[in-house]
């Protein structure tokens, strides 16, 4: 199975956001393991729900910071966040209807993780550069 864990190449150099990304990767790893090992419906639904809740928290936190920093890329980020949330919701629904099909397992291992890595290394890193250029330091919520 694909290895899902945090490594320093995922750091964007903004502590508040890096900490949340670490938690997201951890949640995604828990989810992938639960699905892969077919840990039982209760456990998988629980990890999916955790993942969903944490994702919503993280996206709104990022968007709040972007709005406060008057970041011009905010709308694009919002769209990406919405799409990810929709896909995650689809996976949750599919799991509820059909159980851990190959599709569900692959969606978690490949799609969600690839999306997250690309998102962090792409648009989130852009935001980090913007903050750096403007000399803005984010503080905890
Ligand atoms: Fe992010």
CA distance 44 to 58: 21
Confidence (pLDDT) at 136: 95
Distance 46 CA to ligand 1 centre (A): 22
Contact 47, 27 (CB under 8 A): yes
Report pTM: 0.88
Confidence (pLDDT) at 141: 59
What residues in the chain have per-residue pLDDT under 70?
A: 1-3, 141
Cα 81 from chain centre:
9
- Contact partners, residue 88, CB within 8 Å, separation at least 6: 51, 52, 55, 112
Confidence (pLDDT) at 2: 56
**Chain segment 91-123, per-residue pLDDT in tens:** 888 888 887 777 877 887 788 888 889 999 999
- Contact partners, residue 34, CB within 8 Å, separation at least 6: 43, 44, 47
Contact 14, 128 (CB under 8 A): yes
Confidence (pLDDT) at 99: 79
Helices within 37-73 (DSSP H only): 41-68
Domain boundaries, the chain: 14-133
Which residues in 105-118 are b (16+ Cβ under 10 Å) and which e? bebbbeebbebbee
Distance 55 CA to ligand 1 centre (A): 9
Distance 63 CA to ligand 1 centre (A): 9
Distance 45 CA to ligand 1 centre (A): 23
Distance 112 CA to ligand 1 centre (A): 13
Distance 104 CA to ligand 1 centre (A): 23
CA distance 20 to 65: 13
Distance 97 CA to ligand 1 centre (A): 29
In words, the CATH class of domain 14-133 is mainly alpha
Confidence (pLDDT) at 98: 85
Question: What does R_g of the chain's alpha carbons equal in angstroms?
Answer: 16
């Amino acid at each position: 199975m694909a290895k899902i864990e945090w490594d320093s190449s995922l750091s964007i150099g903004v502590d508040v956001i890096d900490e949340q990304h670490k938690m997201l990767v951890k949640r995604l790893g828990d989810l992938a393991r639960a699905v892969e090992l077919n840990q039982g419906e209760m456990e998988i639904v629980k990890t999916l729900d955790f993942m969903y809740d944490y994702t919503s928290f993280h996206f709104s936190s990022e968007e709040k910071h972007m709005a406060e920093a008057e970041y011009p890329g905010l709308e694009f980020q919002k769209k990406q966040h919405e799409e990810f949330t929709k896909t995650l919701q689809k996976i949750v629904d599919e799991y509820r209807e059909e159980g851990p099909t190959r599709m569900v397992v692959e969606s978690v291992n490949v799609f969600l993780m690839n999306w997250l890595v690309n998102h962090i290394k792409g648009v989130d890193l852009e935001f980090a550069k913007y903050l750096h250029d403007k000399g803005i330091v984010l503080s905890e919520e």
